[in-house]
Amino acid sequence: MGQTITEKILAKHAGKKSVVPGELIKAKVDIVLGNDITAPVAINEFYKIGVNKVFAKDRICLIPDHFTPNKDIKSAEQVKMLREFAKEMGIVHFYDVGKMGVEHALLPEMGIVGPGDLIIGADSHTCTYGALGAFSTGVGSTDMAAAMATGEAWFKVPSTIKFTLTGKKQKWVSGKDVILYIIGLIGVDGALYQSMEFTGDIKQFSIDERFTIANMAIEAGAKNGIFHVDDITLAYVKGRTLRNYEIYESDKDANYAKEIVIDLNKIEPQVAFPHLPENTKPVREAKGIKIDQVIIGSCTNGRIEDLQIAAQVLKGHKVADGVRCIIIPATQQIYREAMEQGLFDIFLDADAAISTPTCGPCLGGHMGILAKGERAVATTNRNFVGRMGHIGSEVYLANPAIAAASAITGTISSPDDL
């Protein structure tokens, strides 16, 4: 029996010829990631182990992005711990304010992750890097601590669901809509501890869209999301990836737990209603819902293509009275590109606010917390109760085009409504 791309990567890193779903393995990791919320716990556990150095100074990434710039004393102390640990251990990939970006946008941009890698991160959206043909998954802080010390981690090999994308994307439909549609189809536990493998007509999806799709695999309960490497992937990593990489492909006779065909022709722009990402409906069923705030950014949709789409919609318009529109470029480089391309002029002319890179409001951190009774349209990944502020607030998930159009009208809208 053949192997899936996920099984091949895990087998390689475990020093085995093959693995099977359900098998417990110990595998070497290429990259270990932590942020300002999860890494302090890992650092404390690391010291408890009794070791005095990390397994590799250039394979650990500490990115303070959730409450950065520090919003209060507690967050300042959290980041101080990262800063001091990075200095003590000589960690190469520590990025502070001015160099920092949202972790899951920054690592690919910097070339730290690449095809065939095995990456773990103490953040659930570490699955983002599957867009590059890597196995990447979120772990707990104690697993992060052990991996920082040993360079290894334990895994249960996941079974794989194969998603074959066919047809053509429709107007205003993006990777965000495709993954929201899939989550709505299978549910937030529809891929529980499984690999979501995306194949088929994927060339119409940019690398930014693939990051979005892989990023939200966790919202279906998946262990990881992963794309096959193609010319678009190779163009992205060329001259960028810091280490040699290996490309893996699923065998034709690979064993899948399930195969699902997604007809792109039938997918309209989607909106996930409160309070679960699976509560998706076409935007036409959401039109007219009054909103108070729009967030365009996050590790899901804060890349340059997302900002370009938002600017395309916002150009020549104003944000509606009574609505706050907050734009958050995911990295310093994206911030610079958006500025140089004139996108900031469009945002400012529309009366939108522009933030330094941060996770900020996505997790109810800062830079846009909701009050009781307020509603937001966000390009983020989760809309749980109280996710963005008060438990009496509501978050509607959408793509950047829908978010921008909604900011203009003050109600959930499509660009075609303008």
Q: Pick from 341, 326, 359: which is nearest to 106 by CA?
A: 359
- The closest of 157, 144, 139, 111 to 9, measured between CA atoms, is 157
Burial class (CB in 10 A: 0-12, 13-18, 19+), 97: middle
pLDDT of residue 242: 84
Question: Which residues are CB-contacts of 52 (< 8 A; sequence separation ≥ 6)?
Answer: none
CATH class of domain segment(s) 270-417? alpha beta
pLDDT of residue 1: 79
The pLDDT tens digits along the chain (418 residues) read 799 999 999 999 999 999 999 999 999 999 999 999 999 999 999 999 989 999 999 999 999 999 989 999 999 999 999 999 999 999 999 999 999 899 999 999 999 999 999 999 999 999 999 999 999 999 999 999 999 999 999 999 999 999 999 999 999 999 999 999 999 999 999 999 999 999 999 999 999 999 999 999 999 999 999 999 999 999 999 999 988 999 999 999 999 999 999 999 999 999 999 999 999 999 999 999 999 999 999 999 999 999 999 999 999 999 999 999 999 999 999 999 999 999 999 999 999 999 999 999 999 989 999 999 999 999 999 999 999 999 999 999 999 999 999 999 999 999 999 9
Give the residue extent of every domain in the chain: 5-262, 270-417
Indicate if 270-417 has the same CATH topology as 5-262: yes
pLDDT digits (tens, 9 = 90+) for 27-85: 999 999 999 999 999 999 999 998 999 999 999 999 999 998 999 999 999 999 999 99
Q: What's the pLDDT tens digit per position in 364-379?
A: 989 999 999 999 999 9
Cβ–Cβ contacts within 10 Å for residue 306, how many?
32
Q: Which residues pair with 120 in a beta bridge?
A: 32, 137
CATH of 5-262, one of 1.10.10.10, 3.30.499.10, 3.30.70.2740, 3.40.50.150: 3.30.499.10
The pLDDT assigned to 313 comes to 98
Name which of 399, 277, 382, 379 is nearest 326 in CA terms: 379
Task: Give dist(CA 150, CA 29) in Å, integer.
Answer: 9
Tell me the C-alpha distance between 327 and 319, whole Å: 12
174, 196, 213, 229, 234 from 245: Cα distances, Å: 28, 21, 22, 11, 11
